[in-house]
Structure 1
Amino acid sequence: MLSPERLDLMQRQWARLLESFGVTPADAYPVFDRLVAAHSERHRHYHTLEHLWEMFRVVPRLAEAGADTRAVQLAVWFHDAVYDPRAKDNEARSAALVADWLSPLAVPVPVIARVTDLVLATAHTTAEPPADPDALVLLDADLAVLGASEARYQRYAADIRKEYAFVPDDAYRAGRAKVLEHFLDRPRLYHHPLMIAEGEEAARRNLSHELAELTAT
């Protein structure tokens, strides 16, 4: 649960971000409200405003690797705008909202195209480091929770289970184990040197502990 104080700060940051594109706060706030509503859907437990808050804490620390921090910030806001755990096209549907919601505000077309590409990158379809420095920042921030403290990781894992409450336990354990094995098989979970130094070891430890619990007989 995100505190009212943090939500207020996020609203002010959103207004400043959109103002940098010439959008007035009065025009920016309705889109902010739609994004907040999307991330507050009842079926969400991890993919919430708290996830965005945590990403926004990571992005500035990696910003020197990126070329367009404004596009990265917008991509953070939109990358989970659509989240249906039963669907396979969440990233594509989220990317489509970038133009749907920002074009009426006259955000420049190149910016919208840039943000759309970044949102699509969060599908995490490859283990290879992205050539795009902005995508590198976004992807590492998106997975930062994997290298969090043991307590935060356990809460994350429990919240993911809640989002898949419709899946029977045996099927969930098998499917989740495959996801964890996929991550652990990667040469690197993170791409940015800072994330590798600070989070790689912890992330692998967290993932391994969860996998062991899932596969215990």
Structure 2
Amino acid sequence: MTSLLTTDRFAAAARAAGATAPDSVLTEVGTELINRWSEPQRFYHTTEHLAACLELVGDEPAVALAVWGHDAIYDPTAADNEERSAVLTAELLTECAVPVAVIEEVTRLIRLTAGHAVAPGDRNGALLADADLAVLAAPWPDYVRYVAAVRAEYSHVPDDLWRIGRSTVLQSLLALPTLYHHTPTLESPARTNLHRELSSLTPTPPPPTG
């Protein structure tokens, strides 16, 4: 799937969104984004995840550009990756001479991925959120591999703190009224996986004594 990631693919999305910069600029920006998604600290948030999301969102230009930018900055030690990715993407799309209104929509969508809460009627937000969370509904062995890849990205975090942090993430996802807006058939398997992982992170209380 990652073989589908080319600078031409980025350029096509940028052109569809109204970019007017020369082809050489679009190629340069596309190369920078692919290089960022290929950084060594990434185990899940890689070009494979990027390619999978692009396949799921289809041809909507603003959503496709948001996919390209939503994890353009990924530092597992930082808490503001979405915001920094939004700012960077705005700068890169400005270089591409993408219309300002489109850039504003792209950055709004990137910021939405910080919590994946989608307002009613937000079609673009629903497309992006569904694609970004699609892995949660994967068959259990694939889901386990996804979790292991995320854990590898957070290898600097001790196990006890990982369990606390990961549990918080899972609980926030389970608290969303709806995980999927365009693909409701994913809702049940995703919630089953989330509950199963959350249970594995919760210590079993000792049996009563006396």
Is residue 129–residue 191 contact of structure 1 (8 Å, CA) maintained in 2? no
Q: Does 2:166 match 1:176?
A: yes
More helix by share: 1
Q: 1:99: Cα distance to partner?
A: 2.3
What is the distance in 2 between the residues matched to 1:203 and 1:125? 14
What is the distance in 2 between the residues matched to 1:98 and 1:186? 27
Distance 1:170 1:28, change over 3 A: same
Q: Secondary structure at the match of 1:151?
A: helix
Q: Secondary structure at the match of 1:189?
A: coil
2:82 partner letter: E
Between structure 1 and structure 2, the one with the greater Rg is 2
Residue in structure 2 matched with residue 66 of structure 1 by the alignment: none
Is residue 14–residue 61 contact of structure 2 (8 Å, CA) maintained in 1? no
Residue in structure 1 matched with residue 44 of structure 2 by the alignment: 46
Q: Does 2:80 match 1:89?
A: yes
Alignment of 1:126-165 (within 5 A): 126=117, 129-165=119-155
User: 1:120-152 CA distances to partner (integer Å, 9 max, x unpaired)?
Assistant: 1111164x5454211111111111110112222
What is the distance in 1 between the residues matched to 2:66 and 2:135? 18
Normalising to structure 2: TM-score of the pair?
A: 0.88
User: 1:21-67 CA distances to partner (integer Å, 9 max, x unpaired)?
Assistant: 3344322111111111111111111111111111112112xx7xxxx
% same residue: 45
Count of residues in Structure 1 that have an aligned counterpart in Structure 2: 202
Q: Does 2:97 match 1:106?
A: yes
Which of the numbers 9, 12, 15 marks the counterpart of 2:11?
Answer: 15
Please report the RMSD computed on the Cα atoms of aligned residues, expressed in angstroms: 1.9
Q: Secondary structure at the match of 1:143?
A: helix
What is the distance in 1 between the residues matched to 2:175 and 2:94? 40
Distance 1:73 1:125, change over 3 A: closer
Normalising to structure 1: TM-score of the pair?
A: 0.85
Q: Secondary structure at the match of 2:178?
A: coil
What is the distance in 2 between the residues matched to 1:153 and 1:138? 20
Q: 1:186: Cα distance to partner?
A: 2.8
Structure 2 residue ranges without an equivalent (≥5): 205-210
What is the distance in 2 between the residues matched to 1:135 and 1:209? 27
What is the distance in 1 between the residues matched to 2:120 and 2:34? 29
Structure 1 residue ranges without an equivalent (≥5): 64-68
What is the distance in 2 between the residues matched to 1:37 and 1:50? 13
Is residue 75–residue 119 contact of structure 1 (8 Å, CA) maintained in 2? yes
Q: 1:156: Cα distance to partner?
A: 0.8
Is residue 33–residue 68 contact of structure 2 (8 Å, CA) maintained in 1? yes
